[in-house]
Amino acid sequence: MTAMQTEQFQAVTSFAVADTFGIDAPKGFSVKGYADPHHVSIPTRNDTYVFRKDKLREALAFLEYPLNTGLYISGHKGTGKTSLITEVCARLNWPVQQITCTSRTEMTDLVGYHAMMSTTPGAPPEMQFQYGPLALAMKEGHVLVLNEIDMMEPAELTGLNDILEGRPLVIAQNAGEVIYPHPGFRIVATANSMGNGDDTGQYAGIAMQNMAAMDRYRFMTVDYPSKEVEADILAKVAPELGEAIHDAMIDVANEVREVFKGEQTLSVDTEFGTEKVAMSEPLSTRKMVLWAQLAVQFRSSINADGERNALSYALQMAHLRRLNDHECEAILQLCNAIFPEWHD
């Protein structure tokens, strides 16, 4: 931010990066955020979240110096695109406005609309303008997160072009109200593509975006975390399982992800011989955390010598039941090969 912007940026304070995000960073290295931790739109903090240093660096650089751009984060489902931003904002007390885009999302959904509202309980309703997430973020200095932005119609997104360049929002339907962007206003988009459409066939409904609109973003890619990061996550959420089981769970998840991305194949033994299996769903970090948490929950309720049964049962609930029979069998055979012992 410029010195003038910093003066306008209400209730600013500095946060030491190393202490705030739990990473190794130079002493004295800090970033700006809001001093008030009580705003209703500040995301809920997940204390088990583990930051990846390279991705954190890019996110903080954008929040500190947006340079009249938005941040476009692309990656497969479950890689942590949205959580990266919300966890950063949770620690910087930076309020967030979120919307998940669809093919029917329009600029009016972002800007706002008129509705019949009562000013006090019991009072007769009156027609009032309700600000949408874009207008609120611009007025109050919030981060606007547009999830699944590549599902939105390209023509609608061009309405953000002038705003990304720092120009005011003019709300024609509210008597021409002009909202100048607050110095703390940011736009972050998440998507499964880079705006060029989906050439994998894995994400239905993705639209190729307008080249002029994409020219207003800086880009970040997010893949699944490294084994070391996921081991840290599992150690925080399910320490009872132990390091050996954590490592085996991560190895299973990584194998499934590689097959999902088409980077390797997985075979399953059937009564007709060995068949190659494609994966319609990755085993994301979010799903793996649920698998671990359910396994801990079920360990005490399943027969005392059935720890592996608890793992298998938890995996069924967390992931396998939405897959076809061949996918399930392939993953169970993979578990048999990777875990020291496995009873499905």
Residue 93: closest CA among 132, 133, 40? 40
Q: What is the mean pLDDT of residues 327-332?
A: 92
Q: What is the mean pLDDT of residues 26-34?
A: 93
Any domain includes 307: yes
What are all long-range contacts of 337-344, with beta carbons under 8 Å and residues at least 24 apart?
Answer: 338/248, 338/251, 338/252, 338/255, 339/245, 339/248, 339/252, 339/308, 339/311, 340/244, 340/248, 341/308, 342/308, 342/311, 342/312, 343/306, 343/308, 343/309, 343/312, 344/312
What's the mean pLDDT when you consider all of the chain? Answer: 89
Residue 343: predicted pLDDT: 60
Among residues 195, 221, 247, which one ends one of the domains? Answer: 221
Any domain includes 344: no
Domain match, 208 and 301 both: no
Residue 307: predicted pLDDT: 55
Any domain includes 84: yes
Domain match, 266 and 243 both: yes
Q: What is the mean pLDDT of residues 295-310?
A: 71
Under 8 Å CB-to-CB from 231, ≥6 apart: which residues? Answer: 243, 246, 247, 250
Handedness of CA 38, 39, 44, 45 (dihedral sign): negative
Domain match, 278 and 178 both: no
Under 8 Å CB-to-CB from 120, ≥6 apart: which residues? Answer: none
Residue 213: closest CA among 264, 281, 156, 283? 156
Domain match, 164 and 39 both: yes
Residue 119: predicted pLDDT: 78
Domain match, 232 and 107 both: no
Domain match, 217 and 232 both: no
Q: What is the mean pLDDT of residues 187-202?
A: 80
Kindly report the CATH number assigned to the domain that includes residue 60. 3.40.50.300
Domain match, 130 and 247 both: no
Among residues 166, 196, 221, which one ends one of the domains? Answer: 221
Domain match, 148 and 297 both: no
Any domain includes 252: yes
Residue 199: predicted pLDDT: 66
Among residues 166, 195, 221, which one ends one of the domains? Answer: 221
252-278 tens-digit pLDDT: 999 999 999 888 888 777 766 677 888
Residue 342: predicted pLDDT: 75
Domain match, 43 and 163 both: yes
Any domain includes 80: yes
Any domain includes 248: yes
Give the percent of the chain with pLDDT over 90.
66
Any domain includes 326: yes
Residue 277: predicted pLDDT: 85
- Asked if pLDDT for residue 13 goes beyond 90, the answer is yes
Residue 124: predicted pLDDT: 86
Distances (CA, A) of 108 to 55, 114, 131, 157, 213: 32, 10, 10, 11, 18
Domain match, 177 and 156 both: yes
Q: Which domain holds residue 285?
A: 227-338
Residue 340: predicted pLDDT: 77
Residue 143: predicted pLDDT: 98
CA 161, CA 156: separation in Å to the nearest integer? 10
Domain match, 167 and 290 both: no
Residue 184: closest CA among 4, 34, 3? 34
The span from the first CA to the last CA of the chain, in angstroms, equals: 56
Residue 94: closest CA among 135, 23, 43? 43
- Domains identified in the chain, total number: 2
* Residue 3: pLDDT band with limits 50, 70, 90: very low
Any domain includes 235: yes
Domain match, 80 and 178 both: yes
Q: What is the mean pLDDT of residues 279-307?
A: 82
| Higher pLDDT, residue 196 or 3 | 196
* Residue 62: pLDDT band with limits 50, 70, 90: very high
64-122 tens-digit pLDDT: 999 999 999 999 888 999 999 999 999 999 999 999 999 999 999 999 988 888 878 88
